[in-house]
Structure 1
């Protein structure tokens, strides 16, 4: 069983990755296509110091080699794989035929929350909004959702992370059922900092995952939302995409 979860930034995808990391017979891949999404951003690698373990796993591989690894045989002792992808990492020109060989699901979250959270994280990392907005990812997320629907001739599973936060056990059980795997109570809690998957320590992106790395389970952030004027156009553009996908979300 091969599972691909597609997300856009700040949808709590890292928390869900940590949940799947707790399952002993699950092989987890964390954003294996990350490098390729920046092939046209010439200065990107000049300003980002990638973790050495991330580079050793992905950086020197071609796209075809990585896909071969993602859809190939699982290591001994692993029953299924969980691949967490950012939708905008799958560039338009890349072959997508392999997608029909995996079970696809899409993670969504209210853009008023994702975009503000992303803006804060990028700002604290020293990026301007002008250089950040193109990485919000909602347009690519929705476009890929429609593409996969056409490729597989079925609507992919959609889950709203807000539902998982409110009732983690029920929604993770329902998600596992839809994916054809067994739910484990281990998915609900984990030890802070004990992760072999999320490897951004000592980089300028460390704060992007600091909360979830230090967490022990799913947690609800403050619901008070004050939207800066600079973010309003982006949120207004993304809300219809979220609302359309929200109609088809998994419900318990």
Structure 2
């Protein structure tokens, strides 16, 4: 029985590093932001590499969902799905999400915004994904068990503890292979990787947690402040190990 582990994050989090950890398992396959092409196609947003992403991806969300729920190769215990919550546009039916094993990955919005504006000139609360994460949390909680919420800062203070908790949740044995990986790109990386994944390509494991001094001004500061209540809502129910 294959577990379809969907980790729902916003941008500029540790989501790609977490995908690396799971991909380093021999019993796991991964998919990188499968709804991104649909998101860019529908919204018309000008992200770095926009045309490449659309050309390389699938713009019909129904086809994407069929693949996410479809067959996997023999011997695969975990189908790890790295998702961005802001990719869940209003036109996408959401019933299929309940068929996945879902986890929310959050990060302090000031840190997210500070990182985000280094790659894009503008940012809005919806770009950060926290409002959408709260909506998804409430929907999943209303239909059954609320999904675990992991804060990136907590995770980086104790990667092994959180990985062990996730492994226990999906019913697989933890392995030390999840704590380190070879540097460089992967075939599984989205075509947008050259614009966003420089730090992950240099990495060989999770970066130790460190306090960050973040200075924001103007619209960036307003966006971070607007996202603060959503972050606090999820931070209050986060998983602690």
- By the TM > 0.5 criterion, same fold? yes
Residue 199 of structure 1 and its aligned partner are, at CA, apart by 3.2
Q: 2:84 aligns with which of 83, 86, 90?
A: 86
Mapped partners of 1:168, 1:47: distance in 2: 31
SS at match of 1:239: helix
SS at match of 2:190: coil
Q: 2:133 aligns with which of 127, 136, 141?
A: 141
Q: 1:198 aligns with which of 189, 199, 209?
A: 189
Match of 1:219 in 2: 207
**Structure 1 residues 92-241: aligned runs within 5 Å:** 92-122=90-120, 128-129=121-122, 132-133=123-124, 134-150=126-142, 152-200=143-191, 206-220=194-208, 223-230=211-218, 231-241=220-230
Deviations 1:72-98 (A, max 9, x none): 221123122010100011111211111
Mapped partners of 1:36, 1:72: distance in 2: 19
Deviates more, 1:84-93 or 1:214-223: 214-223
Residue 24 of structure 1 and its aligned partner are, at CA, apart by 1.1
SS at match of 2:29: strand
Mapped partners of 1:162, 1:45: distance in 2: 27
CA RMSD of aligned residues (A): 2.2
Q: 1:183 to 1:164 in 2, by over 3 A?
A: same
Deviations 1:161-195 (A, max 9, x none): 11221111111111221232221211100011052
Unaligned runs of 5+ in 2: none
Q: 1:70 aligns with which of 68, 90, 95?
A: 68
Matched, 1:244 2:236: no
Mapped partners of 1:244, 1:73: distance in 2: 36
Deviations 1:30-65 (A, max 9, x none): 1001111123333648963426xx845x33x62222
Match of 1:125 in 2: none
Matched, 1:17 2:6: no
Unaligned runs of 5+ in 1: 123-127
Deviates more, 1:153-162 or 1:222-231: 222-231
Deviations 1:204-246 (A, max 9, x none): x624110012100000465232322122211111111111111
The size of the alignment, in residue pairs, is 237
Mapped partners of 2:166, 2:8: distance in 1: 14
Q: 1:118 to 1:45 in 2, by over 3 A?
A: closer
Q: TM-score, normalised by structure 2?
A: 0.89
Q: Are the equivalent residues in 2 in contact too, given 1:188–1:217 (CA < 8 A)?
A: yes
Mapped partners of 1:99, 1:31: distance in 2: 14
Mapped partners of 2:233, 2:15: distance in 1: 20
Q: Are the equivalent residues in 2 in contact too, given 1:74–1:80 (CA < 8 A)?
A: no
Q: 1:64 to 1:162 in 2, by over 3 A?
A: same
